[in-house]
Amino acid sequence: MLQDVTMSGTRDQIRGRLDEAAARGVTEIVFQPCGPDVRTELERFFDAATG
């Protein structure tokens, strides 16, 4: 269920979901980092999103 309503997963899974969203016309993503290390969460998402 989590994967149906979020973009959770490995770097490659996130990259794939972002590509699918872009193919459907999505132009913006809301990202909510969680946990105590926000900087690392942001860096990981940036890596997936731009890789």
- At 9-38, the pLDDT tens digits run 899 999 999 999 999 999 999 999 888 999
Please check the confidence at residue 3 and state whether its pLDDT lies above 80.
no
pLDDT of residue 43: 95
Confidence of residue 51 (pLDDT cuts 50, 70, 90): confident
How far is the C-alpha of 1 from the C-alpha of 17, rounded, in Å?
15
Confidence of residue 5 (pLDDT cuts 50, 70, 90): confident
Question: Domain spans of the chain?
Answer: 2-50
How far is the C-alpha of 49 from the C-alpha of 15, rounded, in Å?
6
**Single pTM value for the model:** 0.79
